[in-house]
Chain A
Amino acid sequence: MDYIIRIIPQMGLGALESLKIFSVVIVLSLPLGMILALGRISGFSFIKKFIATYVWVLRGSPLMLQMLFVYFALPSIGILFEDFTAAIIAFVLNYAAYFCEIFRGGIQAIPKGQYEAAHALGMNYWQTLRRIILPQVFRIVLPPISNETITLVKDTSLVYVLAMNDLMRTTRNLVQRDFSVVPFLVAAIFYLGATLLLTILFERLEKYYAKSSAN
């Protein structure tokens, strides 16, 4: 028990670093995913094809590979990033691709009649999108977004390959230093705590949005 209390501050710092990555990635990749989705369903065939290719590449290859690419390969052509920045760029680009597909599915699930009703009431494109379409899309995409978000919590551990002092790396260092597996358990509790919080948050949101459903 004493040992756990002793390692908590250090592990807390690691967890904080992981939380930082998580937050920045969520805040940036969700809007980017939304913009990509709007582009993907727009009338511009060049943009559509470009985004489709983007999504294919980013979803079709490992996030780890993408991260190492940003960190090690780009510097060779003169683009250099710090650890944190490199990780963030790779994560945001990758997660935006997933969110793009989720939002696209959500937008396409909205019946044509909703657009027609908005048109008949004189609403313009942005009013229709903001007031009619997106609120309904949010409800539809909540479960898959919840899934991705929980995956992201766990994916943040990948940054340990970049020698960042996130929760995973801190844990490993402690295990190797102290010849104890207790840090593993503490790390598991940190990750589980975070995913539990997110699960509850998303359940609340889903319940809130469910009030307008048919039954």
Chain B
Amino acid sequence: MKKIEARNLVKNFGKLQVLKDISLTVDEGEVIAIIGPSGSGKSTLLRCLNKLEEIDRGTIIIDGKTLVQDTGTGVQYANDVEQREIVCRMGMVFQQFNLFPHMTVLQNLTEAPVQVQKRNIDEVTQEAKELLRKVGLIEKQDVYPLKLSGGQQQRVAIARALCMKPDIMLFDEPTSALDPELTSEVLQTMRNLAKEKMTMVVVTHEMTFAKEVANRIIFMADGIIQAEGTPEEVFGNIQNERLKNFLRAIEK
């Protein structure tokens, strides 16, 4: 079953074309790693999927529901209410965590399920605590986020996204803002998620993680998917010049 179906996405920032006819499908339970040099449009692609950016052309279907449809001359987005329903089927984890600093860890998790999904607060609180236990932060439930380390904040952010019971998780360089010694705890949390068959799209510079966890690697450069396939296919016999240069550059 297709969880994400993105066809022929085009995104311009003024005169700059950041996505040039990108197509991407993600099946249920798949883990996709998107890699590529800085400025290649990886974040933009991810952000278009949950409408943090609006595309100029193309079609995006999430879990069978159309977020935006190409009209032949432009695009037509679903109405506001539908959009929000589709968007919150996807959990998003940001490089800068973006936790709500004025709420405790537990409140960060329960806020949207209660306010947006109108779920019962006691029920949500139980689930939130369960999630905090899973990411190893139950003892921090009443702490304010800014008092936590970066790695802890990012694990809270993952738990917050999961508390919405999403079908899909989007990660935009979740470990790039972390000190090296804190990345492994976050990667471990993501590995566990992958084991539970969560559908994941991960923009990352962590090549080891990508090779080990992803079913499919997408290499982007200049707003184009340059190479795509299983880790073995992509890294095994590197044909693409750009990919070769990119891998050489990050090994240093």
Please determine whether chains A and B interact with each other in the same assembly: yes
Taking beta carbons and an 8 Å cutoff, which residues of A are in contact with B? 111, 113-114, 116-117, 119-124, 127, 131-132, 135-136, 139, 209, 211-215
Of listed B87, B94, B101, residue having the most chain A CB within 10 A? B101
In angstroms, Cα B91 to Cα A159, docked, is 57
Residue of A nearest to B50 (CB): A120
Q: Is the CB of B87 within 8 A of A120?
A: yes
Chain A interface helix/strand/loop/mixed: helix
A116-B52, A215-B147 known; 19 new pairs, CB 8 Å cut-off, are A111-B96, A111-B98, A120-B50, A120-B92, A121-B164, A122-B84, A122-B85, A122-B88, A123-B112, A123-B115, A123-B116, A124-B80, A131-B115, A132-B100, A136-B100, A139-B102, A212-B101, A212-B103, A213-B101
Distance (whole angstroms) from the CB of B201 to the closest CB of chain A = 13
Contacts of A135 in B (CB 8 A): 102
Q: When the two chains form the complex, which single residue of A121, A136, A139, A211 contacts B116, counting CB atoms closer than 8 Å?
A: A121
Q: Is the CB of A120 within 8 A of B111?
A: no
Contacts of B161 in A (CB 8 A): 120-121
Please name 16 pairs of A and B residues whose Cβ atoms are closer than 8 Å in the assembled complex, sorted by A.
A113-B94, A114-B100, A116-B94, A117-B98, A117-B99, A121-B112, A121-B164, A123-B115, A131-B115, A132-B100, A139-B102, A212-B101, A212-B102, A212-B103, A213-B101, A213-B144
Q: How many A-B residue pairs have CB under 8 A?
A: 73
Distance (whole angstroms) from the CB of B145 to the closest CB of chain A = 8
The 0/1 profile, CB within 8 Å of A marked 1, for residues 141-158 of chain B is: 000111100000000000
In angstroms, Cα B108 to Cα A131, docked, is 11
Are A136 and B52 also in contact (CB < 8 A) when A121-B111, A122-B164 are? no
In the assembled complex, B225 has its CB within 8 A of some CB on chain A: no
In angstroms, Cα B95 to Cα A116, docked, is 12
Distance (whole angstroms) from the CB of B161 to the closest CB of chain A = 8
How many of chain B's residues have a CB under 8 angstroms from any CB in A?
A: 31
Are A113 and B96 also in contact (CB < 8 A) when A139-B102, A211-B144 are? yes
Distance (whole angstroms) from the CB of A105 to the closest CB of chain B = 18
Residue of B nearest to A139 (CB): B102
Distance (whole angstroms) from the CB of B174 to the closest CB of chain A = 13
Distance (whole angstroms) from the CB of A133 to the closest CB of chain B = 10
Distance (whole angstroms) from the CB of B40 to the closest CB of chain A = 20
Q: Which of B46-87 contact A (CB under 8 A)?
A: 50-52, 80, 84-85, 87
In the assembled complex, B218 has its CB within 8 A of some CB on chain A: no
Contacts of B117 in A (CB 8 A): 122
